Structure 1
């Protein structure tokens, strides 16, 4: 059977991407460990499901097998089973970790699918999962021994349902960050729209610093399996269309939160393209998205604010950036115990002299740093009521977009004359809390729908780019 144009285009790009001294016959395969992560607000449990050899070689940088970024609610380590030598590690977060802070987790046990991916080892290994304790230090919570030669390792997989499209090919995968953009809710007739959405949104990503300056450190791939109807499910509006990845709105009861809880569906599609990071584009007009560090992010591709959604949610997934806003309702809670957050862009400011971004703070800058907080919060009270009313009445999305525009205009007008507008300091209000958490600048893409990251977030993104590309 002959290869179609899209397939030929992909394999030519892939051969080019892997054609380097680092990607020869010695390039390891990609091993994936699928497991169940279950429990409630007080306890968690793990159970191995299966071990899979993915169809493509390991795309990672062999020069950086160990993660020293201290990001994520969890960390996994892969060690030689005999010698104990640490071979690979990565920080990450999970949907379970978010869910267990919700009210439901106080009374219900739930299980979530998760996966860990790492270079295929030559010998048996021990995989260890660590989680943050009350002081935000990593402590072991699970370990499992994996023998890559075991008879029950899955080695034969079905053919790729579709071939990925090479959107940006800047060199060998081992030396680049591989970003895979998956489409969900696109029909066969909308495949052209999917590719156009990918190109538009990835172009926007690389117009935002520091992605702009580091664009050549990325490869971008696109992959989508056609669905029978446009869009992904939105149960709060009675819309339950099929989803290729399991992505849907209304996660944890939040009308704008879009995730997939079907890890198996997502991974079994993603494995047919080189990837280290994934953004799922849902073919919906309604505002929404989500991002889990080290797992995936999502964005509504057809919304008026898709550019912002794509970058903001990718900031969560790629660099572990915290949300800096605090006036929008969220399902999960920060809790009464507040250790210094691991996220690089928020702080409790218990010790101003040890502020995590102190190298950017000019001498004499007051900590905390003043900003028009009272006026902002007064506006937000009325704004959030109007926003909730629009959703409850299921008004046209254009009315929500217009409200967002008015909010941004008000915020810009309020902030821009303030003497601390460009100052780097410690501004109270972040991490979903009005008090006790601080952000580094008055305005940032992680705080509101502005168009640029603050300096601290730019640094945090650059650190992860270096981990995967240099």
Structure 2
């Protein structure tokens, strides 16, 4: 109890220090509704979060050009853009599924920004077929409106400082939230949060930028242990509402309880959010600018944590293409906005990193890889269909890892930067920068050069 009180006091001191320097954090919760063919927006509520804005006021504008969506806060008196950020959303992921072609759905989402001094216009934009942002929603907001909710939500518990490198305004603030942990399991959550933090900073380029990050942890206690896994008949009312089987994919873990997530997270400074799920079954997810998840008790949790954080933090595309996914492919091959995928192998985004003499596109052992991978996927589906123990899935992944590490590490262009076909869930038409990467396989390999560059670009957006 004394430790919890000290941590709570520490968080209050931190909040007090920040409050003297920065405006409060304002958040607009809204509803995103539609199908694959059309979408609409409706405001839900505007709140003032308990803590001040954690970011650097000198880096209020997003220059990364990342994200499927983008929003800006514009001062109505001067027409000056005060704040902007690119992001993805759960709706943006769902609209590419088969369900979205026939059935409308509604998702709750949020926009967070420093409280402006006067009335503003908030513009939300989305990329068109040519990757240009086009406005799809705009609304006015007066921060002095009496309808703005300034009441703090119920406290989710004590904030744990995993790594404190400096003033949040000059750091990337990573908040690790726990879901599905009972009060008795809170020490387990903290242990897993610390373990996965070390896994993140063991990987380059995060390793070299460790001091650019603060890491906080927070876990609202759950009445029951674990989270929902509907495909096996398990349903839980966990505090953050995380669940396996999102969009029909057994390994995809999301929460659709955005209000609960944002209210809990508002008690700590954060730029990026990671949710540790109290579960041993392999799974996770990552949505750029929203959150990432991982089943913290699984053998491959360190890999999933880093891989999914790559999606959430830097908007990285998946480079694998042989696994089952919920999304439906397009016949077209438009140039992706993600910095680690291209439809143009002759002039990829990372061409400056390609050494003279490297062929573009770059040959690799594609046929042998695909044969083995398809066999593994068939065995994987069989293990899930027959509800075999998770240890058997872990053993299959270990077998796959040994084969792929040997195959991809002994090729003619292994370790080189080029344009390797197979990426972005597609076996043809999309190319990745290197033969192997954390975003491609579960092998013990680093982020490829294109991914590392994207990550460093985002770190520079937040850290001094």
Compute the TM-score of the two structures, normalised by the length of structure 2: 0.98
Residues 246/369 of structure 1: CA separation in 2 closer, same or farther (3 Å cut)? same
User: How do 1:125-164 residues align onto structure 2 when only pairs under 5 Å count?
Assistant: 125-164=120-159
Alpha-carbon distance in 1 for matches of 2:14, 2:253: 34
Q: Does 1:464 align with 2:458?
A: yes
User: How do 1:94-243 residues align onto structure 2 when only pairs under 5 Å count?
Assistant: 94-243=89-238
Contact 2:165 2:214 in 1 (8 A): yes
Alpha-carbon distance in 1 for matches of 2:336, 2:429: 11
Alpha-carbon distance in 2 for matches of 1:159, 1:415: 50
Please name the residue that 1:413 is paired with.
406
Q: CA deviation at 1:111?
A: 0.6
Q: CA deviation at 1:339?
A: 1.7
Q: CA deviation at 1:355?
A: 1.8
Alpha-carbon distance in 2 for matches of 1:42, 1:334: 15
Contact 2:156 2:221 in 1 (8 A): no
Contact 2:153 2:263 in 1 (8 A): no
Q: CA deviation at 1:163?
A: 1.7
Please name the residue that 1:8 is paired with.
6
Please name the residue that 2:300 is paired with.
305
Contact 1:30 1:117 in 2 (8 A): yes
Q: CA deviation at 1:136?
A: 1.2
Please name the residue that 2:429 is paired with.
436
RMSD over aligned Cα atoms: 1.3
Q: Does 1:404 align with 2:393?
A: no
Q: How many residues align?
A: 463
Corresponding residue to 1:293 among 252, 269, 288: 288
Alpha-carbon distance in 2 for matches of 1:81, 1:337: 40
SS at match of 2:33: strand
Contact 1:17 1:171 in 2 (8 A): no
Please name the residue that 1:269 is paired with.
264
Q: Does 1:366 align with 2:359?
A: yes
Residues 268/24 of structure 1: CA separation in 2 closer, same or farther (3 Å cut)? closer
Please name the residue that 2:276 is paired with.
281
Q: CA deviation at 1:63?
A: 1.5
Contact 1:18 1:172 in 2 (8 A): no
Contact 2:156 2:219 in 1 (8 A): no
Alpha-carbon distance in 2 for matches of 1:414, 1:119: 49
Alpha-carbon distance in 2 for matches of 1:68, 1:434: 31
Alpha-carbon distance in 2 for matches of 1:384, 1:12: 48
Contact 2:15 2:52 in 1 (8 A): no
Alpha-carbon distance in 2 for matches of 1:24, 1:429: 48
Alpha-carbon distance in 2 for matches of 1:140, 1:336: 26
Alpha-carbon distance in 2 for matches of 1:14, 1:205: 28
SS at match of 1:67: coil
SS at match of 1:368: coil
Alpha-carbon distance in 2 for matches of 1:410, 1:159: 50
Gapped runs of 5+ residues in structure 2?
none
| 1:143-191 Cα deviation digits (max 9, x unpaired) | 0101000011001124413121111111100001110000011111111
Residues 314/333 of structure 1: CA separation in 2 closer, same or farther (3 Å cut)? same
SS at match of 2:57: coil
Corresponding residue to 2:53 among 55, 58, 62: 58
Compute the TM-score of the two structures, normalised by the length of structure 1: 0.96
Q: Does 1:380 align with 2:380?
A: no
